[in-house]
Structure 1
Amino acid sequence: MPAQIIAAGLLFACTPTHVADGDGPIWCAEGPRIRLAGIAARERDGSCRPRHPCPTASADAALRALVGLLGGSRGTVRFPGARYDHVRVSAATMRCLSTGPAKGSRTGAFCQMADRRNLNCAMIATRTVLRWDRYWRRDIICPR
């Protein structure tokens, strides 16, 4: 069943349950699947898509960084039709701002974690992903 897509500009809650990749999707207990907006990670097979920023860090390093920010791994699960395992996480509910639909039944979003840090900025700080200016909001400023 396709995930719920949140319209651009709307705030929504996301309690992360599973992570597939360093930039998403993050599966939310509330229904949506999030693609972290404004960042790019390598694909799980290690490749970078044409015309996407291509970080030097591996896909596994980006996935580990995201899982770490979301409280650490609670094991893995393979969903029907998925090529790779998804990592189970148990993180506090985040507050997210939708940027609208993203490919693969996902909602693009900038998310604030329970500790008030911006998750997208926190991922950039791990140096496992790159900021993707094409999709970055100018009003989001990451601490240095």
Structure 2
Amino acid sequence: MTSDVQYRRFLFTRRGFEVRRGHNRWSTTDQRYWQKGRASRKDRSDPIVLLLSATFVLSVGMLVFLWPSSPISALSGRSSTGDGGFSCQVASITDGDTLRCTDGTRVRLHAVAAREKDESCSPGHPCPASSGAAATAKLSELAGGQSLQCRQTGSSYGRVTAICDNAAGVEINCAMVESGVALVWPKFNRQQPICS
């Protein structure tokens, strides 16, 4: 079953320095101890395992302590203006309440509810009478190709939610609601009011 060398190592680790040469008989206690797997453990730790473990612990420690304090702005590359504010050069308009910046950041207008592109309204969301196409056209008019100054209010489905002003100083969120193509979403407006 096991080699004589393994058995000697087992006896060495089990009984101190007592190594019996030529002893090929196993006691019942020795057999049970060996079968539990305790005798197969190494006497000393493997240096490669220790090195990899130390490297992993060090990497996790550096990641925790050196991670940026504002992960969204640090990862997206947006230029921050302080106080949760950032600049967004509008690359495209997704629908009546979402746009994309040139750096790839997707911005959802805070507390604004507009119809989707397919003219639907999600259950539980405010549903304006105006069409999704009209809301998209109005957002394109207010923000398309412009540089916006936005104040982040949170995040939603991988998008930054924000209140944004265009170059003329018009608050986009409020202008969308006042134009009638979108509605105020009361649940989020209570957290951070628009049109203030």
Fold-level match, TM-score > 0.5? Answer: yes
Contact 1:6 1:98 in 2 (8 A): no
Give the Cα–Cα distance (whole angstroms) in 2 for the partners of residues 31 and 20 of structure 1: 12
Give the Cα–Cα distance (whole angstroms) in 2 for the partners of residues 122 and 18 of structure 1: 18
| CA 22–64 in structure 1, closer or farther in 2 if over 3 Å, else same | same
Report the aligned-residue RMSD. Answer: 1.8
More deviation, 44-53/30-39: 30-39
Which of 109, 118, 123 in structure 2 is aligned with 1:45? 118
Q: TM-score, normalised by structure 1?
A: 0.74
Task: Point out where structure 1 has 5 or more consecutive residues left out of the alignment.
Answer: 71-88
Task: Point out where structure 2 has 5 or more consecutive residues left out of the alignment.
Answer: 1-70, 75-82
1:31 is displaced (CA, Å) by: 3.4
Give the Cα–Cα distance (whole angstroms) in 1 for the partners of residues 119 and 92 of structure 2: 20
Task: From the CA coordinates, give the structure whose radius of gyration is larger.
Answer: 2
State whether structure 2 residue 91 is matched by structure 1 residue 17.
yes
| CA 19–43 in structure 1, closer or farther in 2 if over 3 Å, else same | same
Deviating runs (4+, > 6 A) in structure 1?
none
Which of 103, 106, 119 in structure 1 is aligned with 2:172? 119
Give the Cα–Cα distance (whole angstroms) in 1 for the partners of residues 176 and 72 of structure 2: 23
SS at match of 1:54: coil
More deviation, 12-21/28-37: 28-37
Give the Cα–Cα distance (whole angstroms) in 2 for the partners of residues 38 and 114 of structure 1: 21
Contact 2:112 2:184 in 1 (8 A): yes
State whether structure 2 residue 150 is matched by structure 1 residue 96.
yes
**1:31 equivalent in structure 2:** 104
Q: TM-score, normalised by structure 2?
A: 0.55
| CA 6–98 in structure 1, closer or farther in 2 if over 3 Å, else same | farther
Aligned length: 116
Give the Cα–Cα distance (whole angstroms) in 1 for the partners of residues 93 and 106 of structure 2: 9
Contact 1:5 1:101 in 2 (8 A): no
State whether structure 2 residue 165 is matched by structure 1 residue 108.
no
Give the Cα–Cα distance (whole angstroms) in 2 for the partners of residues 100 and 10 of structure 1: 10
Higher relative helix content: 2
Which one scores higher on RCO, CA 8 angstroms, separation ≥ 6? 1
Contact 1:6 1:100 in 2 (8 A): no
Q: Percent identity between the aligned chains? A: 37
